[in-house]
Amino acid sequence: MSIFQGNRVAQDAQDDWSWLGCGLGFGVGLGLGFGVGFGVDLRLGLDLGLDLGLGVSQNDGAGSQWARRKNQGRRQHDDKIQR
């Protein structure tokens, strides 16, 4: 489950700060992802890096659309488990 899944404030932010946050988050997320990936599991690290990097800013860029689709699929999966 993504830590950004319930953050509606970030999803509604459509200003320049969201683009800055996306850039910073993407850089930090990929850095952490590769660091964890080489220490534990490359796929886990890349997934973590993309979640952090693309989930920081919920603007209308391609990255945020990818993150929204991924989180939506996870929510549907969680709903099926809870039923």
In a domain, 29, yes or no: yes
Output the tens digit of pLDDT for each of the chain's 83 residues: 455 544 555 555 445 556 666 677 777 777 776 666 565 566 666 676 777 666 655 554 555 555 666 666 666 656 666 65
Whether residue 53 contacts residue 63, with contact meaning beta carbons closer than 8 Å, is answered with: yes
In a domain, 20, yes or no: yes
In a domain, 1, yes or no: no
Domain boundaries, position 65 = 8-82
In a domain, 33, yes or no: yes
- Give the count of domains, the chain: 1
In a domain, 41, yes or no: yes
Tokens of 34: 């590769």
In a domain, 25, yes or no: yes
In a domain, 2, yes or no: no
Tokens of 39: 């220490």
Tokens of 2: 């993504």
pTM of the model: 0.23
pLDDT in the model for residue 75: 62
